[in-house]
Amino acid sequence: MNESREARETTVLKGLSPADWASFGREQIAYIRPVVVDGVKAVAIHSADGTPIGAAPTADLAIAAIIQNEMEPVLVH
C-alpha cells in the first residue's frame, strides 16, 4: 500500500513545472540580499520565488520586517 502511495506522489512531483517548484514557500519564506540604490547601501527583501517585496536600510531591519509579516527570513549569498 505504501508503494502505491509513493508511486502516486512521485508521479505528481515529476509533473510539477519549474514555476510550480518556484512557488513553494513563496508566502512563507523571504530572502534578503545587499543592494545599492541610488548610491546608498540597502537590503532588498524578496519572496522565495524572487519577487521583490520590500527593502530596508539594514539587514536587521529587513529581518525584523520579514518576521513581523510572519515569514521566515533567509540570507542568499
- Cα distances (angstroms) measured from residue 63 to each of 49, 59, 70: 17, 6, 11
What range defines the domain where residue 57 resides?
A: 25-77
Q: Report pTM.
A: 0.69
**Three-class DSSP category at 29:** strand
The pLDDT tens digits along the chain (77 residues) read 567 888 887 888 788 887 777 677 778 899 999 999 899 999 999 998 889 999 999 999 999 999 999 999 987 76
Confirm whether 40 is domain-assigned. Answer: yes
Confirm whether 70 is domain-assigned. Answer: yes
Confirm whether 19 is domain-assigned. Answer: no
Confirm whether 77 is domain-assigned. Answer: yes
Q: How many domains does the chain have?
A: 1
